[in-house]
Amino acid sequence: MGVRGFKRAAAASGGGESTNLGGPGDFTLSLAAGAYKMNNSHTTTLGGIDYSAGEHFINAGAEITSASLTGELAQTFFTPNVSDTDLARDVAYDGTTYIMVGNNSSAYYSTDKINWTVLSGLDGQAGMSLKSIMYADGVWLVGGYTENGQVWRSTDGVSWNNHTVVDTSKSTKFVFYFDGQYWCAGGNGGYGVHLSKSPDGISWTTIATPSTRVWGFYADDDVMAITLDDRKIYYVLANDGGHAQVTTSSDNALGICYSLSKTASGVFVITTNSGYATYSTSLTNTSWTKVRPIPSGTLEFGIGFRGKVWVLSTAGDFISTSDGATWTLEDDFQREYRGLTKLESTNELIALNSFNSTTNFILGDLPDSSLAIISTLGEVTQPNA
């Protein structure tokens, strides 16, 4: 079943004297007052008026100097050309190369997300199931589930070295970048949790040791946070010297707090193992508003993307919200995914199953968005869209 509301572009048509644009984006035009025909593959704003995708006839009473072509989302399934049936957990991109990691120290690289090659410098070397990977400021970092206290680091994506973050009783599940520092959060079944930071990914300092397991993380320009299984959130504000603060939800029914994300309107959303989501406009609130977006199931993965929070449940429900209160069922995959990540540089959302799964998918801009504005003659009688 395809994602509802996402589509593929129709090719622009028409002849005569025309202005052709490729999108998405904002464009500067110089169209004199007069009659025009427009073919647009995506929603387009022309002269301050929004036009849905299609063919339109426009009688411009004044000069038009700007246009905006919307980047609408398409869902693309991709199947890496590998035989590995291990679970894929995360993927990152440095502007040239994608690296995907997962269980049993599996690691692959690609330049097109279709043709993948074993990353020999990392694959099988870490001795742990790899959970997360990131790239920032010239450094790759990989963290894992296994309790060995180490991350793997590279500056070229080819040669990798391991570095100790904490003692060997703790894992390094999540690695991310915030406030000019590299961060790592992890733990184990015995609740040996840590939140640590590093200026270079080599030398690490632990700033907090919560008493329960860490399940997710969030970071933007202003704040980073980790979610725990006792309804606690540890958060650090930018430019605060790495001082960790804690807030606890008062609702016992929430259970384990899995992911933390934020909408474009500034609403924080937490997903939980109880099937509830909870939302607030502030991380310091102890009373969050609880909702049940789907009838049953665990809301495992959540991430902010294109202004909304997108969530995958363990039952394969793919849902979204822009305010935390109202949710839309985008799709029902009827299968469990193992990773959901956003690539900032390409503005893509990627969902992962196993390495060789046919159900791995990407949400991103349609590659063939286009706009053609064609000069016409005579009076225009067709109404505007």
At 327-360, the pLDDT tens digits run 999 888 888 888 899 998 888 999 998 888 888 8
Please give the tally of structural domains in the chain.
Answer: 1
Q: What angle do CA 236, 338, 205 make, to 5 degrees?
A: 30
Residue 291 has pLDDT above 80, yes or no: yes
What pLDDT digit, counting tens, does each position of 352-374 carry?
988 888 888 888 876 667 888 88
Whether 79 maps to a domain, the answer reads no
Decide: helix, strand or coil at residue 39: strand
Residue 384 has pLDDT above 50, yes or no: no
At residue 2, the pLDDT reads 39
What pLDDT digit, counting tens, does each position of 250-290 carry?
676 677 788 999 999 999 999 988 888 999 998 888 788 99
At residue 184, the pLDDT reads 95
Whether 24 maps to a domain, the answer reads yes
Contacts of 13 (CB under 8 A, 6+ apart): 39, 55, 372
At residue 303, the pLDDT reads 94
Q: Which residue has the higher pLDDT, 326 or 365?
A: 326
At residue 252, the pLDDT reads 66
Owning domain of residue 59:
1-72+369-385
Which tokens hold the place of 2?
Answer: 């395809």
Which tokens hold the place of 66?
Answer: 């700007």
Decide: helix, strand or coil at residue 288: coil
pLDDT band for position 188 (50/70/90)? low
Kindly provide the residue ranges of all beta strands, DSSP E only, lying in 103-212, ordered along the sequence: 107-110, 117-118, 130-136, 139-144, 150-154, 161-164, 174-178, 181-186, 194-198, 205-208
What integer is the mean pLDDT of 138-155? 92
Which tokens hold the place of 31?
Answer: 């169209």
At residue 366, the pLDDT reads 64
Whether 168 maps to a domain, the answer reads no
What integer is the mean pLDDT of 88-106? 93
At residue 272, the pLDDT reads 85
At residue 152, the pLDDT reads 95
Whether 312 maps to a domain, the answer reads no
Contacts of 326 (CB under 8 A, 6+ apart): none
Whether 270 maps to a domain, the answer reads no
Residue 31 has pLDDT above 90, yes or no: no
What integer is the mean pLDDT of 39-48? 84
Whether 164 maps to a domain, the answer reads no
Residue 316 has pLDDT above 70, yes or no: yes
At residue 191, the pLDDT reads 54
Residue 189 has pLDDT above 70, yes or no: no
CA distance 67 to 13: 18
Whether the model pTM is above 0.95? no
Whether 272 maps to a domain, the answer reads no
pLDDT band for position 11 (50/70/90)? very low
| Exposure class string for 226-236: b at 16+ Cβ within 10 A, else e | bbbbbbbbbbb
Contacts of 33 (CB under 8 A, 6+ apart): 60, 61, 62, 63
Whether 33 maps to a domain, the answer reads yes
Range picked from 42-56, 59-73, 139-153 for highest mean pLDDT: 139-153
Q: Which residue has the higher pLDDT, 5 or 239?
A: 239
Residue 385 has pLDDT above 90, yes or no: no
Residue 34 maps to which CATH number? 2.60.120
Q: Which residue has the higher pLDDT, 98 or 9?
A: 98
Q: Indicate the average pLDDT of the chain.
A: 84
Backbone CA torsion sign across 352, 356, 359, 362: positive
